[in-house]
A and B are shown apart, each in its own frame.
Chain A
């Protein structure tokens, strides 16, 4: 049953993200319009399937500057871990329409290949190209500036990462993402700013209470020497984890994710102390 639901979602998404081909007519670009209509033949087919790929090949044969076709073709390669084919296809899309595809490529570089430098480069280039909001990750979980921040963190630039997240959260127009305060709290913890870490992780609990924020809050209390609060947080973390309230991405493990075994090991070590 779960597979049926999953496939339903996949097919539904392909409809939801369908382009309005008529937009190309508005700009009197009949070639892209025709390519766009050919690309619509992929509807109802799974993005990994031969039929899906062939519909997009037809669209490209009709109009080799129809950038969306390259991007849509690239997705199956991305999700199967074929970084070589994915990169060739998505590079073509970016070359044709950088403002449209740079944010997506940058996010995917991070999400699927942990290419932190490449992701930062793409997101910052996008930011320099446009004068409007740069938007969110493909899965909607991250604002691209938050994604850029976690990439800086991975490269060891923790203070810069903190600054980016603080600036973004201070923006009145920012929609809080699923893990914004969690990442900020962990960064504060890692840089020994314990009061700030505590506040951020408690804010994460208000926004989206997860095993991870309780786990890291426990570590904050541990560093503060508050052993009861530390153990309580770990117990909460374990309960949340078992309930399924934890960081999740169907394709990859998100940064700062923790696992049940880590919570249990920490609980064991807490009992020994």
Chain B
């Protein structure tokens, strides 16, 4: 019995070691777009239920999972974003983040480009507003329902023309 237990433990160790090696040697995380917790950047109070089971917002096939839908998000930005103080810059900004099993958002990451798909760092007068308003959005739904909540990845893309938000996606 003892021999079998050691054999089983050894097998688990080898399997785990192999998996770990495969993961460490890979250029990829579990899934494209996964966001690892970064203690330098992220709110330590933001917790996810199950990292390895986090999925994408569109996997629920319900569109944007926000109370009041995209219309409500557009209204928030219309009311809060002040283009009069924003630099006259143009392009797209993506803010990708996680919504946890309690409907709270965290781990925000930013990506920017100009209209030629070239990487671009936007001025703080734009970025600070976009990130602050995005962080404040409180209507993310618990998906797929309260009984079986899952963590999911969400993003918002802002199409900016001369400092003004002209469209929000998705």
Interface residues of A (CB under 8 A from B): 2-3, 6-7, 46, 48-50, 53-54, 57, 76-77, 79-84, 87, 112-115, 248-253, 259-262
Contact = CB atoms under 8 A, between A and B. Distances in A.
Given A80-B155, A248-B63, A113 B28 contact: no
Contacts of B64: 253
A81 B115 CA distance: 15
Interface stretch (B36-44, B52-60, B78-86): B52-60
B31 A84 contact: no
Given A76-B32, A80-B32, A80-B33, A113 B157 contact: yes
Contact of B170 (A112, A115, A248): A112
B96 interface: yes
Contact of A79 (B56, B72, B119, B159): B56
Given A48-B33, A76-B32, A261-B72, A3 B55 contact: yes
Contacts of B117: 83-84, 87
Q: How large is the interface on B (under 10, 10 to 19, 20 to 34, 35 or more residues)?
A: 35 or more
B28 A53 contact: yes
Contacts of B61: 2, 6, 250
Nearest to A117: B115
Contacts of A82: 32-33, 94, 111
B113 interface: yes
Given A83-B113, A250-B61, A50 B70 contact: no
Contacts of A80: 32-33, 56, 96, 153, 155
B56 A259 contact: no
Interface of B: 23, 26-33, 55-56, 58-64, 68-72, 92, 94, 96, 111, 113, 115, 117, 119, 144, 150, 153, 155, 157, 159, 167, 169-170
Contacts of B31: 46, 48-50, 76
B59 A259 contact: no
25 contacts: A2-B61, A46-B31, A49-B30, A50-B23, A50-B26, A53-B32, A54-B26, A76-B31, A79-B58, A81-B94, A82-B32, A82-B94, A83-B117, A84-B117, A84-B119, A112-B169, A113-B157, A113-B159, A113-B169, A114-B169, A248-B63, A251-B170, A253-B64, A259-B71, A261-B68
Q: Specify the main secondary structure of chain B where it touches its partner.
A: mixed
Contacts of A2: 60-61, 144
A147 to B, nearest CB: 16
Please name the 8 residue pairs, one residue from A and one from B, whose CB atoms are nearest each other, closest first.
A80-B33, A76-B32, A259-B71, A48-B31, A50-B28, A81-B155, A87-B117, A252-B170
